[in-house]
Amino acid sequence: PGLSTDIAPISIMVVKLVIQELLKGTETTLRSLEDDLIAPWYMWLNRREPGTQYENLEPLEFNISGMNILRWYGIDVTRH
């Protein structure tokens, strides 16, 4: 259940990345995202899935530091 809500954040992020790429070098209201969306890889933590390395993350509650669910993380990976 809820597959569409699991996929929605990924779809929205892909659309943002594509729009940023298409508008690169153009003056738009989205220009500030050029500084934010620089990672070569992004990871979305959807839930604290049992049996994964994320199962023991603190509940979302009011936590704002460290890794949390329902959040994007930019991953710095070396391109080959």
Write the pLDDT tens digit of every residue in 11-59. 999 999 999 999 988 888 888 888 888 898 999 998 898 999 999 998 8
This prediction's pTM: 0.76
Q: How many domains does the chain have?
A: 1
Report yes or no on 16 lying in a domain.
yes
| DSSP string computed for the chain | --HHHHHHHHHHHHHHHHHHHHTTTS--TTTTHHHHS--SEEEEE----TTSTTTTSPPSTT--SS--SSEEEEE-----
Report yes or no on 80 lying in a domain.
no
Report yes or no on 38 lying in a domain.
yes
Report yes or no on 43 lying in a domain.
yes
Report yes or no on 50 lying in a domain.
yes
Report yes or no on 53 lying in a domain.
yes
Question: With 80 as the cut, is the pLDDT of residue 63 above it?
Answer: no
Average pLDDT on 64-75 reads: 88
Using pLDDT thresholds of 50, 70 and 90, give the confidence band for residue 66.
Answer: confident
- Are 54 and 43 in contact by the 8 Å Cβ rule? The answer is no
Report yes or no on 52 lying in a domain.
yes
Report yes or no on 62 lying in a domain.
yes
- Domain of 42 in residue numbering reads as 3-75
